[in-house]
Amino acid sequence: MSTAGGGATGPDGWTIIVPVKALARAKSRLDPVLPADRRKALVLAMATDVLRVCVETPEVRRVRVVSADDPVVRELAARVGADFVAEPPPAAVLGTDPLNAALTAALDDLHGPAGIVTADLPELRPHHLSRILSAAACSPHSTVADHRGAGTTMAFWTGARATRVCRFGPGSAARFRDGGAVPVGVTADLGAATRDVDDPADLAALPARDVGPATAEVLHDPRSRHGTHADGLSATMVP
C-alpha cells in the first residue's frame, strides 16, 4: 500500500473501504452446501485475499475494514495493515440499512478519492484493481456491476464528499446508476472484479478459477466440498 505517491489520482491516493459482514450471518445462501464453520472460514478467507490486494495496489494509500465489532475481523484488519471501523448496531440506524449507513459514514471524513470494494472477490489481483482505479479516476462517481449485472462489487467517488452515498443491496446496480454513477467498462480480462461469490453455483465454479491463496486453502479443505444447486439470484451485500 502506497503512503506517498498516489499515481494518477495525485498525492492523496485512494482510500478503499472493504465491508466484511458479520461472520455468523455472511453468505447465508451457502448454508445448503457448506456447514456453518466452513462458510465462515470461506468468508474470512475471501476477505483476507481482497484486503491483501487492496493493500498491495500502488494507487491505494489507505484501506479500511467496516464490520460488526468482531475480534476475528478486527485482528484480520490489523494483520494486513488496514484500519478497522465498527459497524453501528442496527438499533442505532432504525429505518436505514446498517451496513450502507456504516459505509456512508466511513466515507464521510475522507479527503481525496475513495471507494468500496466488496470482500467476496477471491480472483481479484492488484493489477485488476489498479486498472479499475485508473478508469474510476476519470469520473466523479462510478461503479462495477457484478457478473449478473444486477448487483455491485465496487463503487468509487472522486467528487464532493456529500455525493458519497452507498446503495448496496438487491438491485444496487440500477440504484447506483439512478444516483449518478457511471458504470466502469470491464473487459473480459478484468472479469475477476465482477465475479463475487453469493450462491452455490458461484462456489462450485471456484475450484476451476485462479483464486487467492487464503481462498484456495479453504477450498482444498475436504470439509468444504459442496453441491452445485443455485437459485440464480445475487445476494451481494444482502442480509
Q: Which domains does the chain have, with CATH numbers?
A: 7-221 (3.90.550.10)
Supply the pLDDT for residue 4.
33
With bands split at pLDDT 50, 70 and 90, how would you rate the model's confidence at 1?
low
- 150-209, pLDDT tens digit by residue? 999 999 999 888 889 999 988 999 999 999 999 998 999 999 999 999 888 998 898 899
Q: Count Cβ atoms below 10 Å from residue 208 Cβ, excluding itself.
A: 7
Average pLDDT, integer, range 126-140: 97
Helix (H, G, I), strand (E, B) or coil at 179: coil
With bands split at pLDDT 50, 70 and 90, how would you rate the model's confidence at 234?
very low
Average pLDDT, integer, range 12-16: 91
- How much is the pTM? 0.86
CA-wise closest residue to 18 among 42, 61, 48: 48
Longest dimension (CA), the chain: 48
Average pLDDT, integer, range 210-222: 90
> Cβ contacts of residue 164 below 8 Å, gap of 6+?
104, 107, 108, 110, 114, 157
- Alpha-carbon dihedral sign for residues 33, 36, 41, 43: positive
